[in-house]
Amino acid sequence: MRAVPGRPRPGPLPGARRAAPADPRRGGRSMGLTATRRAARLCDTPRRHLRPAARANPPPRRSPRPMYDRAQHLATWDHFRQVHGMTLRVLDLVPADQIDSHPILNMRSPKELIVHLYGTIVRDITEGVVSGAIRAEDDVATLARLKTKGDLLRFVTESWTAADRAAGAITDAALQASVKTPWGFDMPGTVCMSVIRDEYFHHRGQLYAYVRQMGGAPPMMWDFEHNAPEFRPRERQTA
C-alpha cells in the first residue's frame, strides 16, 4: 500500500507476516524468523545462567589489612625519636631562672608546658595504648616536686624512656583496640597515637615561641643531624 502525503504511514494488514530484521553479516539479507527468535531468547536469558558454576569450596577471604599497623607505627615512632631530640635542644635554650615565667600572656609557663607535654601526652597516652586505659598523672602534683631546670630535664628523660619502652611493645591488636581515656570517651589505639603527634607539635610550637620571646634562636625544626647521637637519624640498611 502506497503512502499518501500528509497522512501517517499505514501499518501492516491483519495477519500479514512481519519481515525479519536484516543481518549486515549476510549482505543485508534477512536473518530468518528462526534465528530472530533464537537471538531473542538468548537476550532474555538471565545473566546468572551464563556464569560458570560457583566453586564447591571457595578460598577463604583475606581479612583487610589495617590502615595503620605496627610496622608503620614503629617507622613513625623512629621519626618521633628524632623530633624529641630537637625538643631537647629547644628546651636547653630556656634560661634556668625562667622555667616558671610566662613569656606569653595567658599561656602556660615553660615548666607547665613540658610537664603536660611529656607527662600526659607522650608518656601516659603511649602507655595507655599498651594497657588499654590512659591514666593521666596529676600535673599539679608533678609541678610541685619539680623545683629546678635540672628536675625538669630529668622528668623529660624519664617520661621519654617510659614512652619509648611502651611504644616498642605496641602490637597490631593494641592499635585496633579501644582505649579508655579519662576524658569521657574511648578511642582506638591508632587514634591515640595520632593525638600524640597532633598535641606534641602544637605544644612544641609554643615552646619555640617562648624561646624567641626570651631572646633565643631555636634550631631549624628538621635539623636532626645535629641532635645528640641517640636521637639522630639511623643509617638505613641496604641489601
Asked if 160 and 114 touch (Cβ cutoff 8 Å), the reply is no
Higher pLDDT, 33 or 212: 212
Q: Residue 226 annotated as binding?
A: no
The least confident of 3-12, 65-74, 79-88, 170-179 is 3-12
Whether the pLDDT of residue 236 is over 80: the answer is: no
| Cell matching residue 152 | 625538669
pTM for the whole structure = 0.72
Domains of the chain: 70-231 (1.20.120.450)
∠ CA 66-71-75, nearest 5°, is 125
Whole-angstrom distance, CA of residue 126 vs CA of residue 177: 13
pLDDT range class, residue 190, cuts 50, 70, 90 = very high
Amino acid at 24: P
In three-state secondary structure terms, 188 is: strand
Question: In whole numbers, what is the pLDDT of the chain averaged over residues?
Answer: 85
Asked if 87 and 207 touch (Cβ cutoff 8 Å), the reply is yes
Q: Residue 203 annotated as binding?
A: yes
Whether the pLDDT of residue 158 is over 90: the answer is: yes
pLDDT range class, residue 67, cuts 50, 70, 90 = confident
Whole-angstrom distance, CA of residue 210 vs CA of residue 213: 5
